[in-house]
Structure 1
Amino acid sequence: MASKRSCGLATVAALLIGYFNCARAGTVDFDAATVADLNQAFKAGTLTSEQLVQHCLARVEAYDRQGPKINAVIMLNPKALETARALDAERKSKGPRSPLHGVPVLLKDNFDTFDMPTTGGSVLLENWIPPDDAFVVKKLRDAGAIILGKLNLSEFASGTAHSSLGGQTLNPHDLMRTPSGSSSGTGAAIAAAYAPIGLGTDTGGSIRGPSSANGIVGLKPTHGLMSRDGIIPLALSFDTGGPMARSVYDVAVALGVMTGIDSADPATQKSKGKFATDYTRFLKADALKGARIGIARDFLGADPDVDWVMESALESMRKAGATIVDVSFPKWLIDSKPEFYAAVRRPEFAAQISQYLAATGPAYPKNIQELIERSNDVRSLRPGGAGPNPIRWNLFKKEAESGKLDDYRYLSVRDHALPMVRAVVEGILAAEKLDAIVYPTSSRRPPLIAEAPPSPDSASAVDIANLTGFPDLIVPAGFTTDDLPVGISFFGPAFSEPKLFALGYSFEQATRVRRLPVNTPQLENQSVTVP
C-alpha cells in the first residue's frame, strides 16, 4: 500500500511546464472551472487529462501534505497519471466515453476500490483491499473518470470529522473549525480544489453537513437512486452515496453517470423508470420564476448570521420570480426525529457491518464485538498520526447494545414511524403546492473542532431527508461575519432531483457566492484556457 505520507505523486514545481498558453482564448481559474469548461479545453487541445491530474496533485501536495495540512486525503492512486495518459490517447483515437472522460474524482474511503485499500478511516481495516469496485465506482471508471484517491472521513461514517487512520480533517475556510462529517475529507478536498468531483455518503446528513461547512454543492439523492453495493454500511434503511462538487452543473453531470438498476442492491428497483442519465438537461437559469418555495422556519433562530444569510437567499429567490411560503413541521416530528433516527441507525450498523466484514481477510474483525475488542488494543498515537478514536469507538458499544433487527423498538420505528414521517412531508408539499422546501442546511455556523458535537446538528432538518428517503440538494448561500460558509437546502419529494437541480442552479446563477477558501488559494499558473 502507498501510505498517506509517502504517496505524494507530484510537487507544485512539476506543474509549471507549458500550461494553457492560448492567448486568443479566455481563462478560468482552476477552482471555478466546471466539467463543461474542462471538456471545452480538452476538445480544443488546451488541456489534457494528464495536465489536469497534475494540477490536482499539485494542490494536494501544497495544501494537504504541506502548508495548512488540511489532512483530507488518506491515499492517492499511484496509477492516476498513467491512467490519465491512457485516457488522453483514447480520446484522440476514439473520442470521449462521457463528459467525465479524463476527469479526476476523489472517493470517501468507504467506497470499495479493487486497486486501493478501503478502510472506513479505521486502523481496524488498515490495508484491506476489496476484490472489486463498488457499483458506482465501476460506473465512474467505465465513463472514463480517473479515481484520484481516497479521502478521510468520520470513522465508519459516524462521529466527528476524525478517524483513527486518517486523523483530524481541517476546514480550509478556517483551520480551527470543523469541516463537518462524516464526508469531511470530501467536503474539504472539493472546496480546496483537489479534484472537480468527489463522492460522499449520507445516512444522517453526512454529505450535506460537509457541503455547507465547506461552501460547496452536494446532493443527498433519493434513497435507491444510487446503488449502495460496495459501500461500507452504516444503516441501509438510510444509506446513500452522492456527488459533491463546486457547482450544481458538476453534481448533476456526476449523478447521471452513476444512476442505474443494480441487481446487488434491491433498493435501486425503486428508481426503475425514474432515473435519468443526464441531469444537466434540467438546469435552467430561470427556474425560480413562478416556483413556489416553502421556507421551514422551524430551523431558523439558532445563529443570527445564518438566519441573515437565509433571509437574503429568500429575497434573491423572490427577485428571481419565486413565491415564498412559510411552512412548519409538527412539533412531535421535530422532537422525535433524533430518536427515530437512532432507533434505526444503531441496530442496523451492528447487524449490517458484519455482512460487509465477512468479505475481509482472516486478519480483520468480523462483527461489532470484535471491533470493540480490537479497538481496546489501540492506546496511543503511531508515528504516522494514526491512533485511538474514543468518540467513535465508544459508539460501537451503544450500537452493540441497541437491540436486534427483530426488536419491537426497531420494527415499530421502521414500519410505522418512517411511513408517518413521509406522509407528513408529502402532505406539506401537496397542501401548499410547493416545488421544494428550503432551510439552512446547518442551523449554526461550523463550530470549533474542540467543540464540535459527535453527531449531526439536532437543530437542523437534515435527518428528515433520511427518515423519508427524499432528496436534498445543498447550494452555497453566503458567508457569516467571520467568513464561514452557509449552505441552503432544496428539499423535495422522492425522485424530484430534476426539479431540485433546476431550482438550485437558478439560485446559484442568481447569487454566485461560492469562493476558494482563504487557506487554499490559487496556485501560480493554475488556470484553464476555454475557447
Structure 2
Amino acid sequence: MHHHATTPQSRRTRAARALLGTLLISCSLTKIAFAVPTAEQDRLAKLTLAEAAAEIRSGKVTSTQLTEASLARIETYDPKLDAFITVMKSQALAQAKALDAETKAGKSRGPLHGVPIALKDNVDTANARTTGGSALFAERLPAEDAPIVTRMVAAGAVIIGKTNLQEFAMGGGESSYFGPARNPWNLAHNTGGSSSGSGAAISAYLAYGAIGTDTGGSIRMPASFSGIVGIKPTYGLVPIRGIIPLRVSMDHAGPMTRTVEDAAIMLNVLAGYDKLDITSVENAPKEDYVAALKQPVKDLKLGLPVGYFDYLDPEVKEAFYKAVEVLNGLTSGSKEMYLPAAPRPLNGAAETLAWHEDYVKSSAGSYMYPQRRRLEALAKDGGGTAVDYVKGMWEVQLLRRTIGDHFEKAGVDLVIVPTHRILPPKIDDLLTKAYSSNPTDPSITSNCWPFNLFGLPSISIPCGFSKDGLPIGLMISGPRFSDGKVLALANAYEKATEWHKRQPPLTPDTTKPAVKKPL
C-alpha cells in the first residue's frame, strides 16, 4: 500500500477545496433561499390583474412590489417552464419606480397602472430584442415599439418580458429556437401554440396578463391547454402593426389573462384604430368592455354548430357538455345550427411567403427544420399563383361580410364549442410528428381556425380538467364586433364555476423532464 505524503501544498489545496465546496453548497442554498418567492410575493403574484390594480390604487401595494413579486416567480419557475425568452428586469423595475412616483403624486393612468404584463416575442419592442422564437432574429432590436405596446405603456403597464413562442408563430408551440415552453399543469406536456410562453406565464403567475397573437388559434389553444382565458377579438379591432406577421389576413392580437374581467381591462387599452395598419378597422364601434361584462345574459340564445363536435376526446366531451348544462341555465338555452364550411385550401401560403421569402433565400439554415421545410416547400411553388391568392381573398372577404347572416338565420346570439378536441399532448409526441417525414395537420384537433377565417370574436375559458389534471377549454364566439357580449357570457360562466381558481401543482422542487433533442 502506498502512502501519499501530505505536503503543505496539497493540504492547502484540500483545505481550499473543502472551503470552496462549503461555499458552493452555501451559495447554492442561499441562491435557492433568495430565489424562492416569499409568502407575500406569492400572494401578490396570484392576485388577478383587477385585484392588483385595486391594491395599487388604494396604496396597499406599490408597482415595485408587484414587479418584484413577478420577477421572483420568474426566477424560481421560469427555468422549469421556459415561458420567457427575455426577462426585462432592469427596465421593468425602472418603469415601476417611475409609476410609483406618479401614484405618489396622485396620478393614475387607469387600471393597468403599475401592473406587470408580458408580451409574446413576435411583438416589437424598441428596448428589448424581438426574436420571433428564431435563431434568425436572436439579436434583432426593433427600431420602435408596436402600437399595442405604446398603448399598454401609456396605460401604465410594466413590461416584464418577452414570452416564448413556436418559431415565427408557425404552429403548436413545441418548436422554438429557445426550447419549448412547458405546461405548468404537467411539464412533459405542451402548453399549446403558438403563444406558448404567454399561456405558461399567466397560468404559473409569472405576470398578470400577456399579449398573444392568433392566426389559427394561437391565443385560444394555449389558453385552453394552460387553463386560462384568451380572447381573439374581432379582426381589425386591435392593430397588428409592429408584430411579425404570419398571415396578415388572419392575424389577430389579444389578451391572455386568468379571468375574463382582466381580459376586458386589457382589451379596453388594446382596441382602437391605427391608420398605418392595413388591417385596422376605422369604424369599429367604441365599447367599454369592462362595462359590457355587466350586461344580462339570460335572454341569449346559444348555437352548437354541427361538425365542431367530431373526434372529441371522451374527457373533453364530458367537460364540455357539463359546461353546456351550466350555460343553458344562465341563458335561454342552446340548439344545433350550422356555420358555413371553411373553404380550403386557403390563400395563406402566399402571405406567409411574402414576408419570409428573402430570409428563406438568404438564411434558410437559421430556421428550425419544421418551419424551414414548410417555407422551402412554399418557395418552390411560389406560394401558389397570384390568381389563386386573389380568388381566395375574394372568398374570405365575402365570407366575413355574410357570416353574421348564419347567426341570424339560426336565431342565435353566440356559439359554443370545445376550444380543442384533444387534451394537451406530450411535447415529445409533437416533436416526433414535427420532424417526421409526413407531419400531420394539427388543425383537425382544434376548433379555432374557422373563426380566424370568419374574423369573429372568440374567447377560450377553462371548463374542466382531465382525470390527470390537464386543463380543458370552452370557446364562445359571436358575430362581428360582439366582443362585449362574448366577454359577458364568458364572465357569467366563470362566476358560476370554480375552474379559474384551480392552481397548477408547480413547486420550487418540481423536476423538469427532458424532451427529445430534435436533429
TM-score, normalised relative to structure 2: 0.85
Counterpart pick for 1:505 among 491, 500, 507: 491
1:36 paired residue among 50, 62, 74: 50
CA distance 1:397–1:12, change in 2 (3 Å)? farther
Q: Match for 1:298 among 297, 307, 314?
A: 307
Deviation at 1:442, TM superposition (A): 0.3
- Determine which of 494, 498, 502 is the counterpart of 2:480: 494
- Specify the code of the residue in structure 1 equivalent to 2:292: F
Distance 1:520 1:350 in 2: 43
- Greater shift, 450-459 or 215-224, is seen at 450-459
Question: For 1:83-122, what aligned pairs fall within 5 Å after superposition?
Answer: 83-122=95-134
Q: Does 1:135 align with 2:134?
A: no
- Gaps in structure 1 of 5+ consecutive residues: 1-9, 21-27, 355-365, 376-387, 524-531
When the two structures are superposed, what TM-score results if normalisation uses the length of structure 1?
0.83
CA–CA distance in structure 2, aligned partners of residues 132 and 407 of structure 1: 32
Partners of 2:257 and 2:217 in 1: CA distance: 16
Following superposition, the deviation at residue 471 of structure 1 comes to 1.1
**Matched length:** 469
- For the pair shown, which has the larger CA radius of gyration, 1 or 2? 2
- Distance (whole Å) between structure 2 residues aligned to residue 295 and residue 521 of structure 1: 42
Number of the residue aligned with 1:517: 504
* SS across alignment from 1:177: strand
8 Å Cα contact 1:347-1:404 kept in structure 2: yes
The answer to whether the Cα contact below 8 Å between 2:123 and 2:244 also exists between their aligned partners in 1 is yes
Secondary structure class of the residue paired with 1:201: strand
SS of equivalent to 2:303 = strand
CA distance in 1, matches of 2:44, 2:33: 14
What is the root-mean-square deviation of aligned Cα atoms in Å?
Answer: 2.4
> CA shift at 1:62, angstroms?
1.1
Point out the more displaced range, 197-206 or 406-415.
Answer: 406-415
Mapped partners of 2:189, 2:245: distance in 1: 27
1:255-404 equivalent positions in 2, closer than 5 A: 255-268=267-280, 270-276=281-287, 278-284=288-294, 287-300=296-309, 301-329=311-339, 333=341, 336-337=343-344, 339-340=345-346, 344-353=347-356, 366-372=358-364, 374-375=365-366, 389-403=368-382
Query: How many percent identity over aligned positions?
Result: 36
Q: Secondary structure at the match of 2:183?
A: coil
For residues 65-80 of structure 1, the aligned pairs below 5 Å read 65=79, 69-77=80-88, 78-80=90-92
Q: Is 1:435 the counterpart of 2:413 in the alignment?
A: yes
Aligned twin of 2:444:
458
Report how far residue 223 of structure 1 moved. 1.0
Which of 218, 241, 244 aligns to 2:253? It is 241
- How far is the alpha carbon of 1:16 from its aligned partner? 6.4
Deviation at 1:424, TM superposition (A): 6.3
Could you tell me how far apart the structure 1 residues matched to 2:371 and 2:138 are? 16
Q: Kindly tell me: are residues 317 and 17 of structure 1, through their superposed partners in 2, closer, same or farther at Cα, counting changes over 3 Å?
A: closer
Unaligned 5+ residue runs, structure 2? Answer: 1-30, 435-440, 511-519
User: In the TM superposition, what whole-angstrom CA distance separates every residue of 1:106-132 from its partner, at most 9, and x where no partner exists?
Assistant: 011000000000110111111110111
Q: Deviations over 1:121-151 (max 9, x none)?
A: 1111111101110000011111111110011
Q: How does 1:17-32 map to 2 (within 5 A)?
A: 19=40, 29-30=43-44, 32=46
- The residue aligned with 1:361 is none
Aligned-pair distance for 1:259? 1.6
1:224 partner SS: coil
1: distance between equivalents of 2:397 and 2:126? 37
Query: Relative to total residues, which structure has the larger helix share, 1 or 2?
Result: 2
Correspondence 1:180 to 2:196: no
CA spacing shift, 1:447–1:17, aligned 2, 3 Å: closer
Question: What is residue 460 of structure 2 aligned with on the other side?
Answer: 474
1:18 to 1:458, Cα distance in 2 relative to 1, 3 A? closer
Amino acid at match of 2:375: F
| 1:165-195 per-position Cα deviation (integer Å, ceiling 9, x unaligned) | 3111111111121111100010111111100
8 A contact 1:179–1:214 mirrored in 2 = yes
Q: Give structure 1 regions of 4+ aligned residues with deviation exceeding 6 angstroms.
A: 14-18
Q: Hey, what's the Cα distance between the residues in 2 that align with 1:183 and 1:443?
A: 18
Q: Using the alignment, how far apart are the partners of 1:318 and 1:213 within structure 2?
A: 24
* Cα distance change, pair 193–412 in 1 and its aligned pair in 2 (3 A): same
**Larger RCO, structure (CA 8 Å, separation 6 or more):** 1
